[in-house]
Amino acid sequence: MKRRIKTINPANETVENEFPDWDMDELLPIIDSADHAFLKWQRLEFNERAVFFTKMAQILRDRAAEYAQLMAREMGKPVSQGEVEIEKCAWVCEHYAEQTAAYLADRNIKTENSESFVTFKPLGVIYMIMPWNFPFWQVIRGAAPTIMAGNTIVLKHASNVFGCAVAIEQLFSDAGFPDHIFSTLQTGSRTSPDIIAHPKIRAVTLTGSERAGQQVAAEAGRNLKKSVLELGGSDPYIILEDADIELAVASCGASRMLNGGQVCIAAKRFIVVESIQEEFENKIIELMKSYVMGDPLDVITNFGPMAKVKLRDELHQQVLKSVEQGAVLKLGGEIPDKPGAWYPSTVLTGVKKGMAAFNEELFGPVATIITAKDETEAIAIANDSEFGLGGAVFTRDVKKGRRLARDMIDTGTCVVNGFVKSDPRLPFGGIKKSGYGREIGEFGIHEFVNIKTVVVS
């Protein structure tokens, strides 16, 4: 019998839809078609490609409510947050429609030759492996620069958001893109090694777990293909003794609880200087209490279920393990007695190195508070992690905050007096076990092009 992939509503554990799980013999013609489409697409001028993305931006805005409801049903994102996600997708489409010509303009370099310059040429078919937590944004933010640069894409989305994957392929069609510029592959991860090895796949990009990143990097390396990885994070937010506590609490809470805490760049470790630890702790607990679980399809809900029961259970085990190791449970930490992937907003204090809440990524609505003696120890704790995606520092001394963010905190992004957000104008990515390469911004569009030197003697 043909394998099927089911999408499950995490609010009630009912089946939303079923999709066939394609084998390689069904995927090969799609990859071949994407390569054939590339041969024509690469010859278009930037302004010709931009027309399609400008149209896509308008369709995204027109369908924001529809797409937000689809995300809510497949992975539990509140519709209010889903509509914000769709608006951000429209923004990234418009950004690259407007900026690609400048980002990829030829660059003259003075040498002894009569002419020498660098030009940027597309590679071909790019294999994209994307996660469920931002089902539209993760795909569109990668597709806009990659396709505007002249490449084509085949997508393997997370299996629990296949409805979103199919909708995105239809979105490209409705925006008027030629056939096979963007194609969705309805397949599980079992086919990825063969897809990466396919001679017409020129590069691969993945957003996902550390383990998935290791597997994809190994396959890409084995086949000598470029890869970009955006993996997990355990983002440190340092609250110094001169911080604006109200601002720090609001920023930490908003970052931690966006999308129910299921965000790679969410605030994960609140590192607080001990002189203000009690005040910060009391206020962050009160803020976390204000997040009440609700129906993600209700426009007033800001905190829905987690994406899967399995993920909820794994998070709960991390909380229990941390308490066994000496952390103090100050809020939440109990699974509700009802169907669905529900987990309450939770606060752990007294977290120290060696505990699960310190060493591992907690991908859900759990805030961990770590006390530091002073600024020096706070920075040391922040950097004592295998991850290096994002981070923040809170201080009224902006000059000091800028110096710490620039020179002392070991992450791909660091914010002073705010929280980390991806922005189409700025490069995004991590270091250490948070991955390598960059997405979005000018640096992101350069990942999947041939940076070609031309010399005229």
Q: Which of 157, 158, 169, 347 is nearest to 268 (CA)?
A: 347
Distances (CA, A) of 158 to 47, 139, 186, 398: 32, 11, 10, 41
Q: Which of 164, 161, 345 is nearest to 266 (CA)?
A: 345
Count the alpha carbons within 13 Å of 286 in the hemisphere toward its beta carbon. Answer: 9
Distances (CA, A) of 235 to 45, 197, 221, 232, 238: 40, 34, 28, 9, 10
How many residues are recorded in the chain?
A: 457
Active site residue 230: yes
* Sole residue written with tokens 């076990």: 433
Which residue type is seen at 353?
K
137-148 vs 46-62: helix crossing angle, rounded to 10 = 160
Q: Are 85 and 296 in contact (CB under 8 A)?
A: no
Q: Which of 158, 180, 149, 184 is nearest to 53 (CA)?
A: 149
Residues 6+ apart with CB under 8 A from 227: 203, 204, 205, 206, 216, 217, 220, 221, 437
What's the burial of 408, exposed, middle or buried (CB within 10 Å: 0-12/13-18/19+)? Answer: middle
Q: Which of 233, 264, 219 is nearest to 433 (CA)?
A: 233
Residues 6+ apart with CB under 8 A from 402: 416
* Sole residue written with tokens 């506590």: 245
79-103 vs 46-62: helix crossing angle, rounded to 10 = 170
Q: Are 437 and 280 in contact (CB under 8 A)?
A: no
Choosing from 74, 83, 85, 230, which is the catalytic residue?
230
**Cα distance between residue 48 and residue 46, in whole Å:** 5
Choosing from 264, 281, 361, 447, which is the catalytic residue?
264
Q: Are 122 and 448 in contact (CB under 8 A)?
A: yes
Q: Two tokens at 16?
A: 């939303």
Distance of CA 218 to the CA centre of its chain: 21
Which residues are the active-site residues?
230, 264
